Copies of this chain bind each other. A is one copy, B any other.
Amino acid sequence: MRDSYHEALDGVVDDLVKMTGMVQVALSEATSALLEADLGKAEDVISADSRLDDLHDDLESRCFSLLARQAPVAGELRTVVAAMRMVADLARMGDLSAHVAKIARLRYPEHAVPEGLVPNFTLMARVAQEMVATAARALNERNAHDAGKLADSDEEMDELRKNQFRVLLSKDWPYSVEAAVDVALLGRYYERIADHAVLMAGRVVYVVTGLLPEGGNWPVA
């Protein structure tokens, strides 16, 4: 039988996994809302964001209680500290998904992403989605190995963003200024979601090994 301290700690990690699942849904729905100009999905993502914020507050205060009452050390302290950071990453990824959905809603019934950039955004969203899934798996299995893969995916994301800028800033951008502004901000949101996935996986490495991952270009926050 587990004591109540370990139960509380496991409960925090379980809820982090659950929160990661909610973020995956938010991101996937936000992408559908964006690429299919689906107003219902956009509204769903926007209204579901407050549930993520509530879970953030709840998990944060449970982590604080664990620190205050149990004074964990070593691996358990790393877990609580990493959990506090991951909770912030996840809430932020939820916010960014809601930002994507808000642009979709703002342009409805038009599509915010102009036709020529649909393939680019489809790929960008797919890479982001895979990165969040990898981070979720790493967390769920306490698997430090997968985190390395994320650095490669993040490079792919950077490359996609560069392609986007090439199209945006070519002499013959055929769409409106409004479309250019939407594309620039949407690209930024997906890129930041990817950054947070990399950060999350780095925190798993930290929990498992006690070290920050080396070699990659780990974003600060």
Which residues of A line the B interface, CB within 8 A? Answer: 53, 56, 64, 67-68, 71, 73-74, 77, 81, 84-85, 88-89, 91-92, 95, 165, 168-169, 173, 177-178, 180-181, 184-185, 188, 219-221
Most buried by B among A56, A173, A180: A180
Contact check, B168 vs A177: say whether CB atoms are below 8 A apart.
yes
Shortest CB–CB separation between residue A4 and chain B, in angstroms? 18
B residues near A71, Cβ cutoff 8 Å: 71
Other CB < 8 Å A-B pairs besides A88-B220, A180-B181, A184-B184, 7 of them? Answer: A53-B220, A67-B81, A91-B220, A95-B220, A169-B177, A169-B178, A184-B185
What are 9 residue pairs bridging A and B, where the CB atoms are less than 8 Å apart in the complex? Answer: A67-B67, A67-B81, A92-B221, A165-B181, A168-B181, A169-B178, A181-B181, A181-B184, A188-B188
The residues of B that contact A88 with a CB separation of less than 8 Å are 85, 88, 220-221
Knowing A89-B221, A177-B177 are in contact, say whether A81-B95 is a contact too (CB < 8 A): no
A91 CB → nearest B CB, Å: 4
Report the minimum CB–CB distance from A203 to chain B (whole Å). 12
- A169 to B181, Cβ gap below 8 A? yes
Q: How far is the CB of A94 from chain B (nearest CB, A)?
A: 8
